[in-house]
Amino acid sequence: MLSKQQLIEYSEDARKNYVNHISIDCVVFGFHEGQMKVLLLKTNDEEKWYLPGGFVLNEEHIDNAAVRILQERTGLDKIFLQQFRVFGDPDRSKFHNDMYVGMLPKEENWFSGRFISIGYYALVDFFDVTPHPDQFSELCAWRDLDDMPEMQLDHEKIYKSALDALRLQLNYQPIGYNLMPREFTMPELQKLYETILGKKLDRRNFQRRILGFGILNRSEEPRKGGAHKAPYLYSFDMENYQNALTEGFKGGW
Amino acid sequence: MLSKQQLIEYSEDARKNYVNHISIDCVVFGFHEGQMKVLLLKTNDEEKWYLPGGFVLNEEHIDNAAVRILQERTGLDKIFLQQFRVFGDPDRSKFHNDMYVGMLPKEENWFSGRFISIGYYALVDFFDVTPHPDQFSELCAWRDLDDMPEMQLDHEKIYKSALDALRLQLNYQPIGYNLMPREFTMPELQKLYETILGKKLDRRNFQRRILGFGILNRSEEPRKGGAHKAPYLYSFDMENYQNALTEGFKGGW
DNA sequence: TTTCATAGTGTATTAAGTACACAATTGTAA
DNA sequence: TTACAATTGTGTACTTAATACACTATGAAA
């Protein structure tokens, strides 16, 4: 245990040596017209895009901070959010570091510090989102996953890492409630899985497997009006879905 | 983009509203005599124990910070470390908050702040560790996983969360190189798995499965001298082991 | 030399994953 | 109106992994 004098010295040292800011970066996935989308921001002066992000308020839970940040960008208030990892490379700094670093002396400039970022990914319904730029940006928009622009700092690494985490999640948790409309066809759901995984799946085996999870309800009436054979419509059984979210799919050992 | 005036205001606000300290907490797992152990610290004045932890230096990678902290506690320099999640409840604060909070005015006391903690878990060889107390504690010792003491703050939540992460890891990565001696018997390895999972496994099925991973070499000579039938000795095939670490075991989808 | 605890090995059954083919529906073009 | 193309729905054989379970072998101690 420290004496008072030691505590004073420790506190002084800590204030000098442990000066790290925490930020939050969010990878928001949406799904539209068979394409996986990511919500990105851009200033007009810079070519590079960046992820929606922000900071944690003094008395705020970090998960709430992520929710708050995404509310501001998307207008949504119920968001599926998953913390997936922390990015703590000392070379990384907040996106506007370059931009603002010359404008003020280092001590006065918040952005001259070093930032450790907590990565979250979110799954949202594309149609529910109204993208709002933040105070640093002029543009907030969806970008296709297979046509991603050049990005600030390590944001490419972050969104790729989020995608990896999402793919891992597919193996032991249900996915889709937050990404699909209320009713959807089996081929549409399959397309979602194929997009996330980046590969084709067998129709018949996909159907058997996903139905085996017991998280889908098939409605009586098939979808009509479209070309070709009318497909059945499905929706998620929320009770079983929630249960599968907490329980997980396979036991493993 | 912000004007200079806006940047000044933003920086001032940020310095007031985003005052969060980052700490690192490590759950160090060891294995000895068929028991899973966790390395814990304790002061003499307090009954409660806490996890080894520390802070991130200004220009330090967070992973290196965790390595540095564990070097100081264990003497080890090559440690298997895995970041598993961030704990950001505003109620949590650094372990010595209660202890030191009255000793200095709030502004001068590092421990009066709010702490966001990055959780790491480590797997180490029990015999390689020489526990060193830190500057706040008088005691650093191994505790049995099934006889854990009362702990400071949310440290119980953290180590349980680490255990969950470790159990998940069993499903898609090899485990054991960092926890077992160089040579070991199949029943010993099985005991490790059983301890982590908290349940019994079938000997024959365990052996088939673990051998199927192709990460073990069986030595020519069985272990002699012990009671009962002499068991074979195994060691990890490091090339395949490393490969399995990065590749993972099952593809899932 | 018998007994007991532990180690090594194999086989049958069940469940899950994979590969693959044909029939049904609906709009469109001949 | 009819043939066609595109898409959907369904079933079955095959392979692989998971599970359940029983016998034989060894070595120390009684």
> Does the pLDDT value for residue A74 go beyond 70?
yes
Least confident of A105-119, A135-149, B100-114: B100-114
What secondary structure letter does DSSP report for A223?
A: P
> Does the pLDDT value for residue B15 go beyond 90?
no
Q: Report CB contact under 8 Å: A44, B88.
A: no
pLDDT computed for residue A221 by the predictor:
72
Give the mean pLDDT of A218-241: 87
Q: What percent of chain A has pLDDT over 70?
A: 94
Structure tokens at B135: 């500057």
Least confident of A54-68, A73-87, B97-111: B97-111
Q: Scan residues 221-250 of chain B and list those with Cβ within 7 Å of strand D.
A: 224-230, 250
What secondary structure letter does DSSP report for A151?
A: B
Give the mean pLDDT of A11-28: 88
* A22 phi, psi to nearest 5 deg: -105, 130
Q: Are the C-beta atoms of residues B93 and A59 closer than 8 Å to each other?
A: no
Collapsing DSSP states into helix, strand and coil, what is residue A176? Answer: coil
Q: How far is CA A234 from CA A170, A226, A227, A231, B52, in A?
A: 19, 16, 19, 10, 50
Question: Can you name the residues that pair with A23 across neighbouring β-strands?
Answer: A55, A117
pLDDT computed for residue B95 by the predictor:
57
- Angle CA B203–B205–B211, to nearest 5: 100
Q: How confident is the model at residue A95 (pLDDT cuts 50, 70, 90)?
A: low
Mean pLDDT of chain A: 88
The reply to whether A231 Cβ lies less than 7 angstroms from strand D is yes
> Does the pLDDT value for residue A28 go beyond 70?
yes
The reply to whether B205 Cβ lies less than 7 angstroms from strand C is yes
Q: What percent of chain B has pLDDT over 90?
A: 54
Structure tokens at A143: 């970008």
Residue in A62, A100, A104 closest to B116 by CB: A62
pLDDT tens profile B115-156: 899 999 999 988 889 999 887 788 999 999 989 999 988 899
Structure tokens at B40: 């814990």
Q: Which residues of B touch A53 (CB under 8 A)?
A: none
Q: Are the C-beta atoms of residues A159 and A148 closer than 8 Å to each other?
A: yes
The three-state DSSP-derived secondary structure of chain B is CCCHHHHHHHHHHHHHHCCEEEEEEEEEEEEECCEEEEEEEECCCCCCEECCEEECCCCCCHHHHHHHHHHHHHCCCCCEEEEEEEECCCCCCCCCHHHHCCCCCCCCCHHHCEEEEEEEEEECCHHHCCCCCCCCCCEEEEEEHHHCCCECCCHHHHHHHHHHHHHHHHCCCCCCCCCCCCCECHHHHHHHHHHHHCCCCCHHHHHHHHHHCCCEEECCCCCCCCCCCCCCCEEECHHHHHHHHHHCCCCCC
Least confident of A159-168, B7-16, B56-65: B7-16
Q: How confident is the model at residue B232 (pLDDT cuts 50, 70, 90)?
A: very high
- In Å, what is the separation between the CA of A229 and the C1' of C23? 12
What secondary structure letter does DSSP report for A79?
A: -
pLDDT tens profile A137-169: 888 999 999 899 999 888 999 999 999 999 988
Give the mean pLDDT of B81-106: 76
Question: Can you name the residues that pair with A184 across neighbouring β-strands?
Answer: A234
Q: How confident is the model at residue A93 (pLDDT cuts 50, 70, 90)?
A: low
**Which residue matches tokens 């017991």?**
A214
pLDDT tens profile A198-220: 899 999 999 999 999 999 999 98
The reply to whether A212 Cβ lies less than 7 angstroms from strand D is no
> Does the pLDDT value for residue A252 go beyond 70?
no
Q: How confident is the model at residue A59 (pLDDT cuts 50, 70, 90)?
A: confident
Q: Are the C-beta atoms of residues B41 and B137 closer than 8 Å to each other?
A: yes
Range B15-19 contact pairs with CB under 8 angstroms and sequence separation of 24 or more: B15/A110, B17/A55, B17/A57, B17/A58, B18/A21, B18/A22, B18/A55, B18/A56, B18/A57, B18/A58, B19/A58, B19/B113, B19/B114
Least confident of A105-109, A171-175, B115-119, B130-134: A105-109
Give the bases of strand C that a protein CB approaches within 7 Å. 5-11, 17-21, 24-28
The complex's ipTM works out to: 0.88
Q: Report CB contact under 8 Å: B22, A18.
A: yes
Residue in B20, B57, B61 closest to A17 by CB: B57
Q: How far apart are CA B230 and CA B209, in angstroms?
A: 22
- In Å, what is the separation between the CA of B204 and the C1' of C10? 10
> Does the pLDDT value for residue B252 go beyond 80?
no
* Domains contained in chain B, CATH given: 21-170 (3.90.79.10), 186-247 (1.10.10.10)
Q: What percent of chain A has pLDDT over 90?
A: 54
What secondary structure letter does DSSP report for A230?
A: P
pLDDT computed for residue A58 by the predictor:
87
> Does the pLDDT value for residue B102 go beyond 80?
no
pLDDT computed for residue A99 by the predictor:
65
- In Å, what is the separation between the CA of B94 and the C1' of C20? 60
Structure tokens at B204: 């024959």
pLDDT computed for residue B97 by the predictor:
59
B250: buried, middle or exposed (CB in 10 Å: 19+, 13-18, 0-12)?
exposed
Q: Scan residues 80-139 of chain B and list those with Cβ within 7 Å of strand C.
A: none
Q: Which residue has the higher pLDDT, A188 or B222?
A: A188
pLDDT computed for residue B201 by the predictor:
95
> Does the pLDDT value for residue B228 go beyond 90?
no
> Does the pLDDT value for residue B171 go beyond 80?
yes
Residue pairs spanning A and B at CB distance below 8 A: 147
How far A144 CA lies from chain B's nearest CA (Å)?
23
Mean pLDDT of chain B: 88
> Does the pLDDT value for residue A97 go beyond 90?
no
In chain A, DSSP finds a helix count (H) and a strand count (E) of: 7, 9
